[in-house]
Structure 1
Amino acid sequence: MTSIINENYAIHFGDECYRALNEFIAVKKPSTVFVLVDENTMEHCYAPFAAKLETVAPIEVIEIDAGEEFKNIDTCSGVWNALIELNCDRNSLFISLGGGVVTDLGGFVAATIKRGIDFIHVPTSLLAMVDASIGGKNGVDLGPLKNQVGVIQPPVMTLVDPKFLSTLPEQQLRNGSIEMFKHGLIADRAYWENMLELDFDFSSDTFESLIYQSIIIKNDVVLSDPFEKDARKSLNYGHTVGHAIESYCMSNPKQQEELLHGEAVAAGIIIESYLSQLNTGLSKKDLKQIEEFYEALELGLKFSASDVEQIIGFMAHDKKNVNGEVRFVLLNAIGSYQTDCVVDVQEIRNGFKLYLS
């Protein structure tokens, strides 16, 4: 897979990751290399990564707790303080080795400590490879509200080594694949259909190629609109509802235990596809295909009428909102979208009724 070289950052794949990383380190000569991990990536990923890291600089590992509930300012404070205690300076290098929580939080910490130091993302989950580590969005949650505090600052490079996927259970692979399906829905019908043909067979010879194509789709969208003024909003398809579901579950942890990001977004995709049929012309045939994709996930999330009202309430905090109006990305067809769509709240309720049926 050919490296993707942009003006301000690069994305490397496979063995090329380590050649590019070590070449960068040789030129930069960092004072210290900091590696952020959680307990999972410390156990499964750090040793093989460190074995390929070539540097004479001291290496300091900072470990955080795993899980979305720790993606917050308190965790950032702990990492910032650790960096200061370990003599971080402007010539330090910060490497985030982990899934979406580690890369989101790590990028935010690195972009703000000492007013910004160089950082590199090494995503180890499928979700982080195709979504969280691409595009420069870094940040944390504020209580149950998703991604409310952060910055847009790309890493100097992202290193995508599919070998790390062998450490993941199938549920985590499905979780990440939902963002890949989303990329097809907003940008490329042929890619969407290729994902359907994959049929969640993550051992398929075509799987790595689909990861690569998914990264290209996201990278192209980001390059066209780095600061999310227009086209980049399309990457939030399924997320207006999905993030609200996540926020609701974070504030009611016994309601939907261990809900994964992709699972919430998949529910959001179903509901926002229904809204697309009502408002932007998505055909019944396309909606049916999307429904069949969701049914194959066998997630079975359940919400009462009271739950739905609380979820709708969380949508008021969505970052795309303007003047208090909830703005959706909706599909005209698979592969084509509209941004800044305002939807009647009763249609949202009806979308949940369809989903729950």
Structure 2
Amino acid sequence: MNFASQLMYFDQLPDIETISAQVYHSQPREFVLIYAEELLEFSAAQNWIQAFQLKYQVKSGEKLKSVENFPRHIQNLLQLLKGVNPKQLTFVCLGGGSVGDFGGFVASIYKRGVDLIHIPSTWLAAIDSAHGGKTALNVGSVKNQIGSFYPAQAVILVKDLFSTLGDEPVRSSLGELIKIGIVNSPDLLEFMLHNEQPPEEYLWQLLPQAIAAKMKIVVSDPYEKSGLRQQLNLGHTFGHVLETICGWPHGWSIAQGIYFSLHWSFNKGFMAEEEYTKLLNFLTRFFTQKCGPQGEPLPLLIPDNVLKIFASDKKQTAHAKYNFIFICEVGKVCIREVTEQEFLQELKRQGWF
């Protein structure tokens, strides 16, 4: 399975004929569009969506990924696609991360797997989740417990889609961008460090570099067997806790998780003070610690609730032990095993309780 999807960059949404020509060399295909309903608010996207004969509208968000709702969606899609040859079928997913996770999982299991194209409509999905082949559903309130590795044939990146976004989605996406920079792209972080422009002015410019940095790791460990790909989970262990309990956006929660990892890494002696201070000051430019994106105060975190989410983490190595990603320096992280109690003690030391 080829995890390096074909990347295509456009200023505007390409028509179906262009997609067919560039991905399939105009061989006969049936395209079914899974799209986020909020995109109908934009006239350019609205007209483009209407051009698809086969289309399925969804409401983006974590409820879309609920395993409890999934059978209903599958029944609807089976009805929509009755009589369509699966060997000529391609699912096209237009939306943010939840639409990509949902649509990617559908493509991976529909008739034992059909082709997939992602068209991310958020910076967060364009930078991270559309690449690398991870798909997922949630079980109850626990994120990403069911899923598959299923890379898209192509990822289409459209500049116009991102111009419709406000400031908050831009800022939230920086959590994943900074993570990629810390893990595997010091040059990317240096560019951001010395650039005084607002991020929306340079995100499009940085997209190829960010994607390449992530994919360099993914293709070396596509199924997370060696542990190398786990490095991309920097900030996610505690970030997912905050996302679940506080309802904060994914990117913002990941940034808080990076703060947590940064402080713990320095306290355990993995980082030099100069490197720690440099990264801390850099993060502070974009994210305020221990509050929500609108300045919302941190809600009361109850240790038992935190531990329940932490215990569902996919990085568990043994009973009550988990792989945690620590930062050594920009461009170098390390994975160490920690216990549940060590995790709770560090949260308390940092003042999260």
TM-score (norm 1): 0.85
The answer for the alignment partner of 1:315 in structure 2 is: 310
The answer for the alignment partner of 2:78 in structure 1 is: 84
Q: Matches of 2:133 and 2:149 in 1, distance apart?
A: 5
The answer for the alignment partner of 1:283 in structure 2 is: 272
Over 3 Å counting, the alpha-carbon distance change for 1:82 and 1:234 in structure 2 is same
Counterpart residue type for residue 46 of structure 2 = A
Check whether the contact 2:3–2:151 (CA below 8 A) recurs between aligned residues.
Answer: no
Q: Matches of 1:148 and 1:200 in 2, distance apart?
A: 39
The answer for the alignment partner of 1:217 in structure 2 is: 213
Over 3 Å counting, the alpha-carbon distance change for 1:352 and 1:269 in structure 2 is farther
Over 3 Å counting, the alpha-carbon distance change for 1:289 and 1:200 in structure 2 is farther
Q: Matches of 1:131 and 1:338 in 2, distance apart?
A: 20
- Per-residue CA deviation, residues 308-346 of structure 1 (Å, 9 max, x unaligned), is 442233111111111121210111112101124325734
Query: For structure 1, which runs of at least 5 residues remain unmatched after alignment?
Result: 1-5, 250-255
Q: Matches of 1:46 and 1:239 in 2, distance apart?
A: 32
The answer for the alignment partner of 2:204 in structure 1 is: 208
Pair 1:197 & 2:194 matched: yes
Check whether the contact 1:328–1:343 (CA below 8 A) recurs between aligned residues.
Answer: no
Q: Matches of 2:348 and 2:282 in 1, distance apart?
A: 17
Deviation of the 1:263 alpha carbon: 1.1
Pair 1:267 & 2:256 matched: yes
Check whether the contact 1:280–1:331 (CA below 8 A) recurs between aligned residues.
Answer: no
Counterpart residue type for residue 258 of structure 2 = I
Deviation of the 1:64 alpha carbon: 1.2
Deviation of the 1:13 alpha carbon: 1.5
Q: Matches of 1:178 and 1:284 in 2, distance apart?
A: 22
Q: Matches of 2:119 and 2:167 in 1, distance apart?
A: 20
The answer for the alignment partner of 2:329 in structure 1 is: 333
Counterpart residue type for residue 234 of structure 1 = Q
Over 3 Å counting, the alpha-carbon distance change for 1:65 and 1:173 in structure 2 is same
Deviation of the 1:35 alpha carbon: 0.6
Q: Matches of 1:227 and 1:259 in 2, distance apart?
A: 28
Check whether the contact 1:329–1:340 (CA below 8 A) recurs between aligned residues.
Answer: yes
Over 3 Å counting, the alpha-carbon distance change for 1:48 and 1:279 in structure 2 is farther
Counterpart residue type for residue 118 of structure 2 = H
Q: Matches of 2:351 and 2:18 in 1, distance apart?
A: 46
Check whether the contact 2:323–2:338 (CA below 8 A) recurs between aligned residues.
Answer: yes
Q: Matches of 1:265 and 1:259 in 2, distance apart?
A: 10
Q: Matches of 2:210 and 2:59 in 1, distance apart?
A: 29
Deviation of the 1:347 alpha carbon: 5.4
Counterpart residue type for residue 40 of structure 1 = E
Q: Matches of 2:306 and 2:200 in 1, distance apart?
A: 36
Pair 1:64 & 2:63 matched: no
Give secondary structure in 2 for the equivalent of 1:224.
Answer: coil
Give secondary structure in 1 for the equivalent of 2:316.
Answer: coil
Check whether the contact 2:315–2:322 (CA below 8 A) recurs between aligned residues.
Answer: yes
Pair 1:106 & 2:95 matched: no
Deviation of the 1:153 alpha carbon: 0.9
Q: How does 1:107-256 map to 2 (within 5 A)?
A: 107-198=104-195, 201-204=198-201, 206-229=202-225, 230-247=227-244, 249=245, 256=246
Give secondary structure in 2 for the equivalent of 1:73.
Answer: coil
Q: How does 1:16-35 map to 2 (within 5 A)?
A: 18=14, 21-23=19-21, 24-25=23-24, 27-30=26-29, 32-35=30-33
Check whether the contact 1:127–1:176 (CA below 8 A) recurs between aligned residues.
Answer: yes
Over 3 Å counting, the alpha-carbon distance change for 1:343 and 1:193 in structure 2 is farther
Counterpart residue type for residue 288 of structure 2 = E
Q: How many residues align?
A: 337
Q: Percent identity?
A: 25
Q: Matches of 1:353 and 1:113 in 2, distance apart?
A: 47
TM-score (norm 2): 0.86
